[in-house]
Structure 1
Amino acid sequence: MSTPPPPALRALASGPQGPAALRPLLDTVLGALDSGRRARGGPLPAGGPDAVAARLRDAVGDVLPDHGDPEALRVLVHALAEGAADPADPLCAAHLHCPPLAVAVAADLAAGALNPSLDSWDQAPAASELEALVTRELAHEAGLADAVVTTGGTEANQLALLLARETHDGGVRLVCGANAHHSLPRAAWLLGLPDPVIVPAPSGTIDLAALHEALTDIAGPRGSLLVAATAGTTDAGLIDPLPEIAGLCAAHGARLHIDAAHGGGLLLSDRHRDKLTGLEAAHTVTLDLHKLGWQPAAAGLLAVRRPRDLDILHQHTDYLNADDDTEAGYPDLLGRSLRTTRRPDILKIAVTLKTLGRTGLGALVDQVCAHARELADLVLEHPGFELYDRPTISTVLFRPTDATDDTVATVRRRLLGEGRAVLGRARLDDRLWLKATLLNPDTTTDDLATLLKLVEGTTLG
């Protein structure tokens, strides 16, 4: 017969004893996060994949021991923090991987403790209403009518193609730029749609003349073409000419989806939101607040112009949305996602919006965009570096002057292996560039200068 674990190790996170059980555990987690960060000593663990894997394996030991270890929480959180890429470190600037706000992480703790599941009202009474309120408000920010929560941009893009396919009886074909996120052509494949028409994007954004030609050449029944534009490309943060694309879609009777997973956060900034003019013309828009919204993953949404398009998601199963329950006024939640069990990711978003407000979040957007402009200025002033272009959002592409692509790739990997800096890579104009995506509002001028010094020193070394 199995021996039950001690009461302290099997305490529940909610209920009358939940807060008392969580408090000492939170102290343990916070202490382990700090000790792990100090052991790491930089933005990334040193030594590369083999060394990190070895340290992690040593910390884990037996994954499923016969008898539990009361030190497991401390040991594994320390190991994870020691082996983490810390997005809050100013020298960790490779990806659209934001440092989350403390208030959002705290809200996420509450969501985990209460553990609502948004597949039926009786599992998430307040959470279901909160989701309805917040998603509608965020959709209105984008000029649309309603939104559903997703795990991120990939799920939102897949859902956008699904809605287009079902709205037009399956006869839809994707038209997107060569700069589009990989999830869009992949979604076409997953949904059994014809091969996408890929429009050239020689300058990093869709070529309008080529788009017009493509829409003319493959003209079909109204609504049979779905054009996907991008507001914030993954490689350089560029924004397609949205008003002009919307005009072409209207002229050709094409449906328009805009992937604003990266750039959608600009809506929060009075200074930068005009870069998204044309967003309101879309039938669907992907948003993702675990990028330019400082949320813990996941925090994606798909906004829709016509709420009735979401009707195709409706499913009926008697144990979750019986007809008589619905008629009695209990909300039917199954039409709000392709998923069944869903955690209340909306809570952290709602807390963040309410805590910081439009001006507070807008200030964070303005700060990271300003940091990008400052880094670009430093690159331009430095004779040893070449700048790809002025930043559109908060991504800066640069490379050592006269370096080969092999040198650029080697510099990046050497910095990763030494744990000194985390830079991304992007290929534009047939050349490889180092990519700095600045999402930490607290980054300083000295941090930016240090980043360039590290690249310079590694290049010369």
Structure 2
Amino acid sequence: MTLLSSTADQTDFGSRIELALAASNQLFNPRNAPRYVADVLQAVNLVATKVSRTSRPFTGCAPGQLSPLVAGVDLDRPLPDTAAALEELEGLYLQDAVYFHDPKYAAHLNCPVVIPALVGEAILSAVNSSLDTWDQSAGATLIERRLVDWTAGRLGLGAEADGVFTSGGTQSNLQALLIARNHAVERLRQDPAADAGWLPQALDRLRIFASEASHFSIAKSAALLGLGYDGVVPVRCDSERRMDPAALRQALADSRSRGEVPMAVVATAGTTDFGSIDPLDAAAELARQAGSWLHVDAAYGGGLLTSLRYRHLLDGISAADSVTVDYHKTFFQPVSSSAVLVRDRSTLRHVAFHADYLNPASAAREQIPNQVDKSLQTTRRFDALKLWLTLRIMGADGIGALLDGAIDLASRAGELLEQDPEFELASAPQLSTLVFRYRPEGVDAGTADALNLHIRRAVCASGEAMVAGTTVDGRHYLKFTLLNAETSVEELNAILEQIRAIGAGFLAGARA
């Protein structure tokens, strides 16, 4: 019997061997280390060159222009080398990417990133540790745990605090509310009169209280946790878009009168649109009186932990049972990098699950530090390394100085808008966002809506700047999100003049 019965079989076998050898040359290992250095340097140089030559945040490219180019790529026919692939990528991605480092990018909560974090990104991607178990990560586990302790210390959560890194604020909020839900159900089951043995029956009574300006992930989490969107009780805000403590007190009392259980109060430290920070002390006291879990969503405002001048805005956060912090917003880290922190490490048992092949219960008894014990994710990147190197190279004060500069810039931009009679500022800036609209004298509300929708689209299409949009009381507004301390007042003025020119053109056309 022969293994290769024909010349064709031998040729096919030879080509498979050749293909396998070529593929093995792409594996990152000691033999291919020089190739790794050369190829990664090509990519780094390409990006550095592109950034140095980019003079605006966006090209204005529309989906219809780029989609055919991407769809036309034959993924079953590889290119001859890395240089060819990077050349193709430049046209498909880098040319029309949105560059957050540009001083005229003022749209969403996307920050310019610091170089130490990029160094960390290169290291963690190459080593490729998985932060689920000790035997896959070792030192990486200890570094993440040390950063969790550092963050919890700055939050003032106490000696029993703990937490874990996550993919972002949405996941952090979900995990915090899952813990709060299971904590509430556990307490109900200890009450003989509660009749909460069956989980769906218990869930029907649970309620989450959050301000009208809270992040959509709170309602989304409620739905995922079996409470439904109706499980979130919206609490009225004051004129500065902060949760009104009197309204929260009344909402809690009304809920109790209906026989509902206040599972959690969610206070926001930095709303997405207004940067508003709920009165944390008052929320903590009302949550305590109601026997409710207090979660603080500080995805945006968490960077104030490093601030040199605005740290006091987070006063009261130390009373929280759990906190969300997004490092990839106001700590200037690349996506993704977030964490959920809890005051009492024992509450993390509510998300623990022990799999015999991965993290058996015996490992927990032996105090082997498996991070999967307290995470919703299993396989997880070593994103903590980016923050670690940032702190070791820049220090927390360096991060704080960048954030303070962005907050100062927003304050100056607010003054510009207040002084200009053609603009309306929805609310004074509280962190680094401004909600405003272009509305010259004599423009009615309906026309102003159409006008500002048009302005946002036109600014984006120009690529000269990027601004966001939102609604306030059902009306359309524009929004600046300022996270780049190097943006100048002159550059903001240039954006406002572009908005004015586009708006004036729209109104002239409407009149004609």
TM-score band w.r.t. shorter chain: over 0.9
What is the identity, as a one-letter code, of the residue corresponding to 2:173?
A: N
Task: Tell me if 1:426 matches 2:440.
Answer: no
User: Is the counterpart of residue 330 in structure 1 residue 368 in structure 2?
Assistant: yes
Out of 184, 207, 210, the residue aligned to residue 173 of structure 1 is: 207
5 Å matches for 1:404-415? 404-415=448-459
Equivalent-residue separation in structure 2 for 1:352 and 1:34 (angstroms) = 20
- Confirm or deny: 8 A CA contact 2:173 2:221 kept in the other structure: yes
CA distance in 1, matches of 2:244, 2:89: 49
What is aligned with 2:58?
44
Structure 1 residue 331 displacement after superposition: 2.4
**Counterpart in 2 of 1:81?**
94
Q: CA deviation at 1:68?
A: 5.3
User: Residue in 1 aligned with 2:75?
Assistant: 63
Amino acid of the residue matched to residue 152 of structure 1?
A: G
Tell me how many residue pairs correspond in the alignment. 458
- Report the alpha carbon displacement of residue 242 of structure 1 after superposing the two structures with TM: 1.3
Partner in structure 1 of residue 162 of structure 2: 146
For the Cα contact (< 8 Å) 1:284–1:303, is it kept in 2?
yes
Distance 2:263 2:365 in 1: 38
Cα separation, 1, equivalents of 2:317 and 2:33: 44
Q: Indicate yes or no: 2:39 matched with 1:25.
A: yes
The Cα of 1:46 is off from its aligned counterpart by 2.1
2:426 corresponds to: 388
Q: For residue 11 of structure 1, what is the aligned residue in structure 2?
A: 26
* Residues 252 and 262 in structure 2, CA contact (< 8 A), matched pair in contact too: no
Counterparts of 1:141 and 1:45, CA distance in 2? 41
Q: Among all aligned residue pairs of Structure 1 and Structure 2, give the percentage whose two residues are the same amino acid.
A: 34
1:285 is paired with a residue whose SS is strand
Pairwise CA distance, 1:10: 3.8
Query: Pick from 109, 117, 122: which aligns with 1:109?
Result: 122
Any conservation in 1 of the 2:299–2:326 contact (CA below 8 Å)?
yes
Cα RMSD, aligned residues only: 2.3
Contact 1:140 1:146 (8 Å CA) reproduced? no
Deviation >6 Å, runs of 4+: 220-223
The answer for the alignment partner of 1:343 in structure 2 is 381
Residue 267 of structure 2 is matched in structure 1 by 229
* 1:92 maps to which of 89, 96, 105: 105
CA gap 1:266/1:323 in 2 versus in 1, 3 angstroms: closer
2:255 equivalent to 1:218: yes
Cα distance in 2, alignment partners of residues 201 and 407 from structure 1 = 27
* SS of residue paired to 2:394: helix
Higher radius of gyration, 1 or 2: 2
Give the 3-state SS of the residue equivalent to 1:46 in structure 2.
Answer: coil
The reply on whether 1:441 has 2:491 as its aligned counterpart is: no
Q: Which moved more, 1:221-230 or 1:336-345?
A: 221-230
Worse-superposed segment, 430-439 or 312-321: 312-321
Task: State the 1:356 CA deviation.
Answer: 1.4
* Cα distance in 2 for residues equivalent to 1:447 and 1:101: 21
- Please state how far the C-alpha of 1:390 moved relative to its aligned partner: 2.0
- Using the size of structure 1 for normalisation, the TM-score is 0.93
Distance 1:104 1:313 in 2: 29
Gaps (5+ residues) in structure 2?
1-11, 186-198, 506-512
Contact map agreement 2:308 2:400 (CA 8 A) in 1: yes
Q: Residue 295 of structure 2: SS of its match in structure 1?
A: strand
Q: Deviations over 1:222-255 (max 9, x none)?
A: 9743111111111111111111111211222221
Work out the CA distance in 2 between the residues paired with 1:6 and 1:363: 51
Q: Does 1:164 align with 2:180?
A: yes
Of 121-130 and 383-392, deviating more is 383-392
2:373 matches 1:359: no
Cα drift, residue 66 of structure 1:
6.1
Runs of 5+ consecutive residues of structure 1 not aligned to the other structure: none
Question: Secondary structure of 1:406's partner?
Answer: helix
Shift of 1:208: 2.1
Question: Which amino acid in the other structure matches residue 180 of structure 1?
Answer: S
